[in-house]
């Protein structure tokens, strides 16, 4: 009898351990940390449709959600020449979730306006008011430079590529679709980071990779 009880206890402990491992593996061990911009607490990386972004924004833990994409190998033509292999990022609407701060000029107010990073602007003498034609494959987007931005520190941006920031509508056009590859989130309460991540995993068909702001290390 005692032996059976011991076996039962060992089995239960083992089951609990396995369950804990699964939970930690799903929500904890894959957690990464990075210096997210401004007020951002969590960044989800994957592939998100507009409907999924809306559903994420409706989660009670979310105060603000921004859909963003990074496009590589974009050709940009200006009166100053051709910039091959440029990187295009989404210019977020919410100031606290922007990956790059405005240095001069204005922030894009429509899909026909864009920002250029300060280093590229200086290297090629591109100024506010310059017209630019961006192409990726057969897709072409025309826009006017309305501002100069600080160079993004996001690791997805290479060390040498020219960087342009376009509103989400223009990025979707240039990408040939309406999906985005990341969602940046400001939480109502930062202590709900883990709760939000679990809800996002349950809401999405394909669980995304989760990146937390460095300030949350040790708290999620």
Do residues 166 and 111 lie in contact, with contact meaning Cβ atoms separated by under 8 Å?
A: yes
Interatomic CA distance for residues 107 and 93, integer angstroms = 9
Share of the chain above pLDDT 90, in %: 73
Interatomic CA distance for residues 169 and 60, integer angstroms = 26
- At residue 12 the predicted structure's pLDDT band, cuts being 50, 70 and 90, is very low
Classify 113 as helix, strand or coil.
Answer: strand
The answer to whether the Cα torsion of 39, 42, 47, 50 is positive or negative is negative
Q: What b/e string do you get for 82-108 counting C-beta neighbours within 10 Å, with b at 16 or more?
A: ebeebbbbbbbeeeebbbbebeebebb
145, 163, 144, 148: which is closest to 73 by C-alpha?
163
* 157, pLDDT greater than 70: yes
- At residue 195 the predicted structure's pLDDT band, cuts being 50, 70 and 90, is very high
Q: If you compute the radius of gyration of the chain from its CA atoms, what whole number of angstroms results?
A: 22
* 148, pLDDT greater than 80: yes
* 120, pLDDT greater than 50: yes
pLDDT of residue 204: 94
pLDDT digit string, tens, across residues 26-62: 334 456 999 998 999 999 999 999 899 999 999 999 9
209, 28, 49, 171: which is closest to 57 by C-alpha?
49
* 82, pLDDT greater than 60: yes
Interatomic CA distance for residues 173 and 139, integer angstroms = 8
Lowest mean pLDDT, pick from 24-28, 164-168, 214-218: 24-28
Average of per-residue pLDDT across 16-31: 40
Mean of the per-residue pLDDT values for the chain?
Answer: 86
Q: How far is CA 216 from CA 31, 44, 52, in A?
A: 11, 15, 25
pLDDT top residue among 50 and 23: 50
* 19, pLDDT greater than 60: no
pLDDT of residue 25: 38
Interatomic CA distance for residues 163 and 74, integer angstroms = 10
Interatomic CA distance for residues 211 and 42, integer angstroms = 6
């Amino acid at each position: 009898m005692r032996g059976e009880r011991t076996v039962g206890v060992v089995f239960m402990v083992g089951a609990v351990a396995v369950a804990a491992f699964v939970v930690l593996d799903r929500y904890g061990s894959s957690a990464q940390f990075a210096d997210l911009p401004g007020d951002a607490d969590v960044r989800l990386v994957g592939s998100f449709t507009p409907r999924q972004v809306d559903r994420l924004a409706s989660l009670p833990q979310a105060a603000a959600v921004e859909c963003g994409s990074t496009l590589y190998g974009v050709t940009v033509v200006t009166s100053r020449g051709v910039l091959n292999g440029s990187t295009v990022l989404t210019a977020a609407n919410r100031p606290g979730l922007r990956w790059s701060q405005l240095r001069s000029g204005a922030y894009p107010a429509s899909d026909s306006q864009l920002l250029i990073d300060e280093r590229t602007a200086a290297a090629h003498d591109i100024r506010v008011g310059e017209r630019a034609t961006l192409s990726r494959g057969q897709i072409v987007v025309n826009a006017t430079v309305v501002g100069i931005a600080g160079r993004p520190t996001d690791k997805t941006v290479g060390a040498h590529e020219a960087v342009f920031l376009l509103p989400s509508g223009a990025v979707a056009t240039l990408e040939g679709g309406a999906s985005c590859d990341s969602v940046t989130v400001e939480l109502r309460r930062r202590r709900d980071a883990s709760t939000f991540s679990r809800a996002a995993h349950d809401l999405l068909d394909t669980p995304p990779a989760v990146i937390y702001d460095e300030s949350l290390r040790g708290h999620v």
